[in-house]
Amino acid sequence: MVADPLRPTSEPWPGMEAVRRLIAQARSIFVLTGAGISAESGVPTFRDAMTGLWERFNPEELASEEAYRRQPELVWEWYLHRRALVAAAHPNPAHHALAALAAQKHVTLVTQNVDGLHQRAGSQHVIELHGNLFANKWLDGCGRCDEASALPGMPPRCHLCGALMRPGVVWFGEDLPRVARFRAEHAAQTSDLCLVVGTSGLVYPAAALPGLAKEHGAPVIVINPLPSALDQTADLVVPAAAGALLPLLWPQPGMEPD
Ligand code: OAD
């Protein structure tokens, strides 16, 4: 038989066939995603240099309560910039593939991302460990806070007590939302496979979840084109971009299985 020159004869990424098999065999899958899954949607990761006006800032210096208290206009402006960037972005094939996986398996999707792209791709019950970019809450609110109109370039303030509105994300030094953390840990302990996609694995407690899954018997798969801090925990590392790889790992709606 003559080989079809258009069809690759070997797997495009080492480990891909093994990952496919593990996913096919698993009944319940714990998925942890990070900024890398949205990179192919054009949303910069945290370790990427920031561009344009924000080039000289480090996200870790802006994403904290202390930074916000010191420079509320600057930090608020940065969040408005990020909201605009994400609003103009679209879910990519990796987000869509994970939404499709949930129709085939019991999937718990836990994300460190605040961009809402998993939900826009159709994933439901996403556990957002670091909050959501488009949510707001009050900093030191009086309990009866109500929005006052903001001056241009200024964050809104409560017209009753003057508290500042802040984005509903988890900043450095803050605790994770309790229910999200509890649900994520429970799923890590009870799923039979752990898939880690697009995270540097540097920020805790999120980065501890794959280790927890492994302690409870789940093989850990890491998908990341670059080395990450979770490679040591992984049973298998596939050095691939998520948007290119994930749609090849399980059947996608409207595509013939090969
Ligand atoms: P990072 O920016 O730390 O890491 C992004 C990871 O994605 C890197 O390891 C990249 O190699 C990888 N990557 C890049 N492109 C990719 C692609 N196409 N496919 C797959 N992987 C790709 O982002 P996170 O690990 O999510 O926390 O960062 C964790 C947390 O640190 C964030 O949630 C945020 C941050 O500071 C808070 O804001 C509390």
238 CB less than 6 Å from ligand 1? no
Per-residue model confidence (pLDDT) at position 3 = 44
Q: 33, 207 in Cβ contact below 8 A?
A: no
Q: Bridge-partner residues for 91, per DSSP?
A: none
d(CA 56, ligand 1 centre) in Å: 19
Per-residue model confidence (pLDDT) at position 99 = 98
User: Taking the CA of residue 121 as centre, how many other CA atoms within 13 Å lie in the half-sphere pointing to its CB?
Assistant: 26
Please tell me the total number of residues recorded for the chain in this structure: 258
d(CA 204, CA 247) in angstroms, rounded, equals 28
Q: Bridge-partner residues for 148, per DSSP?
A: none
User: If we measure between CA atoms, which residue out of 185, 213, 190, 210 comes closest to residue 199?
Assistant: 210
Q: Which atom of ligand 1 is nearest to the CA of 112?
A: 33
H helix runs in 26-115, sequence order: 59-62, 65-70, 72-88, 93-101
Q: Which atom of ligand 1 is nearest to the CA of 47?
A: 2
186 CB less than 6 Å from ligand 1? no
Query: Which residues of the chain register pLDDT less than 70?
Result: 1-10, 49-53, 149, 255-258
d(CA 58, CA 16) in angstroms, rounded, equals 35
Q: How many helices (H) and strands (E) does the chain have?
A: 9, 8
Residue 224, marked binder: yes
Per-residue model confidence (pLDDT) at position 4 = 53
d(CA 199, ligand 1 centre) in Å: 4
Q: 217, 190 in Cβ contact below 8 A?
A: no
Per-residue model confidence (pLDDT) at position 52 = 66
User: If we measure between CA atoms, which residue out of 131, 96, 128, 135 comes closest to residue 110?
Assistant: 128
d(CA 237, CA 224) in angstroms, rounded, equals 8
97 CB less than 6 Å from ligand 1? no
d(CA 244, ligand 1 centre) in Å: 17
Which pTM value belongs to this model?
A: 0.93
- CATH architecture, domain defined by 1-43+91-130+175-251: 3-Layer(aba) Sandwich (3.40)
Per-residue model confidence (pLDDT) at position 111 = 98
Per-residue model confidence (pLDDT) at position 221 = 98
d(CA 198, ligand 1 centre) in Å: 6
112 CB less than 6 Å from ligand 1? yes
Per-residue model confidence (pLDDT) at position 256 = 56
Classified as helix, coil or strand, 181 is helix
φ/ψ (deg, to 5) at 148:
-105, 155
38 CB less than 6 Å from ligand 1? no
d(CA 252, CA 21) in angstroms, rounded, equals 16
